[in-house]
Structure 1
Amino acid sequence: MSLMSSHWAEQGHEVTLLIRQEPVIPPYDLDARVAVHSLGGKERSSRWQRLLEYWKALRRLKQSAALASADVVVANGPWSALLLLMLGRRFKLVICDHNNPRGFGRHTRWLCRLLYPRADALIALTSTQRRYYEAHGYNRLVVQIPNPVNLVPSAGRTRQPIVLAVGRCSHQKGFDLLLAAWHLIRSDVAGWRLSIIGEGELRTQLERQAQELDLGSSVEFLPFSNDLASFYETASLLAVSSRFEGFPLVMLEAQTCGLPIVSFDCDFGPRDIITDQVDGLLCAPEDVGALAKGIKTLIDAPAVRQAMSLVALKTAQAYRMEKVGALWDALFKQLETGR
Structure 2
Amino acid sequence: MRIAYCVPRLTTSGGIERVLANKSKFLLDHGYEVYFILSEKTDEPPFFDFDKRITFYNLGCEFTARGLKKKMVHGKYKEIYLKRLAAALDEIKPDITISIFDKYSRYLYKVNDGSKKIIERHFGKYKRPRYISKFETNSLGRILTYLYRKADYDIVKHYDKFVVLTEEDKNLWGNLPNIVAIPNSISFIPEIKSTTKDQRIIAVGRASKQKQLDVLIRVWAKIAKKYTDWKLVTYGNGNLESLRKLAEELKIGDQVENNPPTHNIQEEMVNSSIYALSSKYEGFGLVLIEAMACGLPLVSFACKCGPRDIISDGEDGFLIKENDLDDFADKLSLLIADSELRRKMGIAASQNVLRFTEGIVMSKWMSLFDELVN
TM over 0.5: yes
Q: 1:165 to 1:38 in 2, by over 3 A?
A: same
What is aligned with 1:33?
53
Q: CA deviation at 1:95?
A: 1.2
Q: 1:108 to 1:14 in 2, by over 3 A?
A: farther
Aligned pairs for 1:3-18 (under 5 A) are 3-18=22-37
Q: 1:156 to 1:131 in 2, by over 3 A?
A: closer
Aligned pairs for 1:1-339 (under 5 A) are 1-21=20-40, 22-23=42-43, 25-42=45-62, 44=64, 46=66, 48=70, 51=74, 54-65=78-89, 69-103=93-127, 109-134=149-174, 137-138=175-176, 140-155=177-192, 159-200=197-238, 202-337=239-374
Q: CA deviation at 1:290?
A: 1.6
Q: CA deviation at 1:215?
A: 1.6
Q: CA deviation at 1:71?
A: 1.1
Q: CA deviation at 1:93?
A: 1.0
Paired residue type of 1:207:
R
Q: CA deviation at 1:65?
A: 4.1
What is aligned with 2:13?
none
Q: Deviations over 1:283-325 (max 9, x none)?
A: 0112211211111111111101100111111111111111111
TM-score (norm 2): 0.82
Distance in 2 between residues matched to 1:297 and 1:157, nearest whole Å: 18
Q: Deviations over 1:147-190 (max 9, x none)?
A: 11112425276642000010111100011210110111111111
Paired residue type of 1:94:
I
Distance in 1 between residues matched to 2:355 and 2:326, nearest whole Å: 32
Unpaired stretches in structure 2, ≥5 consecutive residues: 1-19, 130-144
Q: Deviations over 1:105-137 (max 9, x none)?
A: 899944212121010001121110110122xx4
TM-score (norm 1): 0.90
Paired residue type of 1:119:
Y
Q: Secondary structure at the match of 1:113?
A: helix
Q: CA deviation at 1:54?
A: 4.7
Q: CA deviation at 1:45?
A: 8.0
8 Å Cα contact 1:5-1:17 kept in structure 2 = no
Paired residue type of 1:255:
M
Q: Secondary structure at the match of 2:126?
A: helix
Q: CA deviation at 1:225?
A: 0.5
Paired residue type of 2:156:
Y
8 Å Cα contact 2:193-2:270 kept in structure 1 = no
Q: 1:219 to 1:10 in 2, by over 3 A?
A: same
8 Å Cα contact 1:2-1:27 kept in structure 2 = no
Q: CA deviation at 1:254?
A: 0.6
8 Å Cα contact 1:161-1:193 kept in structure 2 = yes
Paired residues in the alignment total 333
Unpaired stretches in structure 1, ≥5 consecutive residues: none
8 Å Cα contact 1:121-1:142 kept in structure 2 = yes
8 Å Cα contact 1:24-1:37 kept in structure 2 = no
Distance in 1 between residues matched to 2:324 and 2:29, nearest whole Å: 44
Q: 1:156 to 1:84 in 2, by over 3 A?
A: closer
Q: CA deviation at 1:66?
A: 6.2
Distance in 2 between residues matched to 1:56 and 1:108, nearest whole Å: 28
Distance in 2 between residues matched to 1:224 and 1:46, nearest whole Å: 30
Q: Secondary structure at the match of 2:33?
A: coil
Q: Mean alpha-carbon deviation: is it higher for 325-334 or for 77-86?
A: 77-86
What is aligned with 2:7?
none
Paired residue type of 1:130:
K
8 Å Cα contact 1:24-1:38 kept in structure 2 = no
What percent identity do the matched residue pairs reach?
28
